[in-house]
Amino acid sequence: MSNRRTSIEGKLPFTTATQHLEGLGVDVAAKLAMVAGDIAFVLNDTGRIVDVAADPREFPEVSGWIGREWLDTVSVESKPKVMEMLASVRKGVTQHWRQVNLVTLEGDVPVRFVAVSLGAGGGSIAFGRDMRDDAALQQRLLQAQQSLERDYLRLRQLEARYRLLFEQSIEPVLIIDADTYRIREANQAAHQIFRSRPGTLQGGKFTALFAKPAREQVIAFLGSAMVSNGLQPMEAEPVDGGDKIHLAASGFRERGGQFLLVRLSSAQRVAQQSASVTARVIESMPDAFVLTDARMIIREANAAFVELVAAASADQLRGQPLGDFIGRPGIDLDLIDSQLAKHDSARNVTTVVGARDGFEGEPVELSAVRTGDEQVCYGFVIRPIGRRLRDLPPTSDSPRSVEQLTELVGRMSLRDIVRESTDLIERLCIEAALEYTSNNRASAAEILGLSRQSLYSKLHRYGLGNMADAED
């Protein structure tokens, strides 16, 4: 394709060409021809190359082109251009630069040519400019443009996915300007939680969505979110007076500006989610857990408790008295109930599971807590300890003490042996009561039917605990 900006058409000629160029010699003309292009062909009237001037480092085949037709040195698609330039030279038509591809051993080389007639019978000369650098630059430019287009397409796809995810998310989300607190974007769920028509939140003040007493807290919360990543969520009352809204925020930067990503949820939904998580944790606990009402009627039980009492399912246990499964009748649960009434909790109480029909039951350790004021509930955590008791080293006090009493016959009077037996029985019972109540003196005194002062006196007498601990 012709390039008119590099042709002589329309250009003003030299006004004093005869004065300055009349004495132009052959050497000067040859230099001008070599300077005018990177390669120059001298052609006869038929288009055969009779001479050539070029840098052999750029065109190694230059010496082999002499004597060949110019048409034979170019690629197939360039031949019409060469034929057109040769025809224009013969007709004396003004020439324009045309790009052709010279065929070399390294491949096609783009060269821009223009042919100039040397006069009647003098043939012509074709000046060529190497376009390989320009072609490489154009190729890099094309690759850069294609890369930009691919990146732009990828960004458009990412934006489309982000927009779809943002709008379809069931969690209310807003993008807020950190300087003005104006809403830049809000998804459909955000409009629903504020009971607004779609598209009405954008551009409005975020703080205006909350009741006036809560706005200062919301502003302080948003300011802290810009400088802290571990900020705990907060609750705020909306302006319409509905359920409180749970806010979580995190800051980010974009195009030199500061913004906040605010995620919302109703406080009721957060509580339900928390309760759901708590229920799953309790159900998966390795220790047995059971929840009862104030009359100790079972309301809920986890899988470990169902397995502990050998029940078929938790449904089978609901509505049943806890006393049917835990403790010795009339002793353990009554004691635990009295402790819960006084202290709202009981820790590490030793009792049994499944004591019935002469079976003493399996030893367990129980902790309990009392919750609620208007509607009282009891929560019990129960852990089997039978294996732990079997692993303990055997004690030597009880059987050896009884044997020692019988050995006193003949060495002491019967009255003294009875007195020693009474002391031994008292000590053994007190030790058993303390072990049963996990060293709770008040509960031990209640089990033994003693006053606290009497129990403290006997503890001091048998050396089972110092008085300071007992009084505490």
Q: What is the DSSP code string of 81-149? A: HHHHHHHHHHHTPPP-BEEEEEEETTEEEEEEEEEEE-STTS-EEEEEEE-HHHHHHHHHHHHHHHHHH
Q: Which of 130, 158, 192 is the last residue of a domain?
A: 130
The pLDDT confidence band at residue 146, using thresholds 50, 70 and 90, is very high
Q: Which of 221, 241, 271 is the last residue of a domain?
A: 271
Q: How far apart are CA 141 and CA 145, in angstroms?
A: 6
Q: Which of 130, 156, 187 is the last residue of a domain?
A: 130
How many structural domains are present in the chain?
4
In a domain, 151, yes or no: no
Q: Look over the chain and give the mean of its residue pLDDT values, rounded to a whole number.
A: 81
Residue 26 pLDDT exceeds 50: yes
Residue 144 pLDDT exceeds 90: yes
Residue 217 pLDDT exceeds 60: yes
In a domain, 194, yes or no: yes
Query: Are both 365 and 463 inside the same structural domain?
Result: no
Query: Are both 387 and 401 inside the same structural domain?
Result: no
Query: Are both 209 and 305 inside the same structural domain?
Result: no
In a domain, 163, yes or no: no
Query: Are both 364 and 304 inside the same structural domain?
Result: yes
Contact 364, 351 (CB under 8 A): yes
Strand-pair category, 173-177 with 107-117: unpaired
Quote the pLDDT of residue 337. Answer: 82
Mean local confidence (pLDDT), 12-18: 69
In a domain, 280, yes or no: no
- Which of residues 25 and 256 earns the better pLDDT score? 256
Quote the pLDDT of residue 451. Answer: 87
Mean local confidence (pLDDT), 284-301: 87
pTM of the model: 0.39
Residue 422 burial by Cβ neighbours in a 10 Å radius (0-12, 13-18, 19+)? exposed
How far from the centroid of its chain's Cα atoms is residue 45's Cα? 78
Name the strands in the sheet holding 377-384, side by side, starting at the edge strand that comes first in the sequence. Answer: 298-301, 288-293, 377-384, 362-371, 345-353
Q: 424-440, pLDDT tens digit by residue?
A: 888 888 888 888 888 88
Query: Are both 99 and 215 inside the same structural domain?
Result: no
Residue 167 pLDDT exceeds 80: yes
Q: 171-195, pLDDT tens digit by residue?
A: 889 999 988 999 999 998 888 888 8
Query: Are both 59 and 119 inside the same structural domain?
Result: yes
With b for 16 or more beta-carbon neighbours within 10 A and e for fewer, the 127-155 pattern comes to bbbbbeeeeeeeeeeeeeeeeeeeeeeee
Contact 110, 137 (CB under 8 A): no
Contact 278, 267 (CB under 8 A): no
Query: Are both 110 and 25 inside the same structural domain?
Result: yes
In a domain, 11, yes or no: yes
Q: How many helices (H) and strands (E) does the chain have?
A: 16, 15
Query: Are both 359 and 416 inside the same structural domain?
Result: no
CATH number at residue 59: 3.30.450.20
Q: How far apart are CA 207 and CA 216, in angstroms?
A: 8
Residue given tokens 């012509």 in the structure block: 124
CATH number at residue 463: 1.10.10
Q: List strand residue ranges (DSSP E) for 311-415, in order.
A: 345-353, 362-371, 377-384
The pLDDT confidence band at residue 446, using thresholds 50, 70 and 90, is confident
In a domain, 146, yes or no: no
In a domain, 465, yes or no: yes
Q: Which of 10-14, 229-233, 358-362 ranks highest by mean pLDDT?
A: 229-233
Q: How far apart are CA 444 and CA 431, in angstroms?
A: 9
Query: Are both 263 and 320 inside the same structural domain?
Result: no
Residue given tokens 């502003």 in the structure block: 219
Contact 353, 308 (CB under 8 A): yes
Q: What is the extent of the structural domain holding 118? A: 4-130
Quote the pLDDT of residue 8. Answer: 62
Contact 438, 348 (CB under 8 A): yes
Query: Are both 372 and 445 inside the same structural domain?
Result: no
In a domain, 159, yes or no: no
Query: Are both 22 and 90 inside the same structural domain?
Result: yes
Query: Are both 8 and 51 inside the same structural domain?
Result: yes
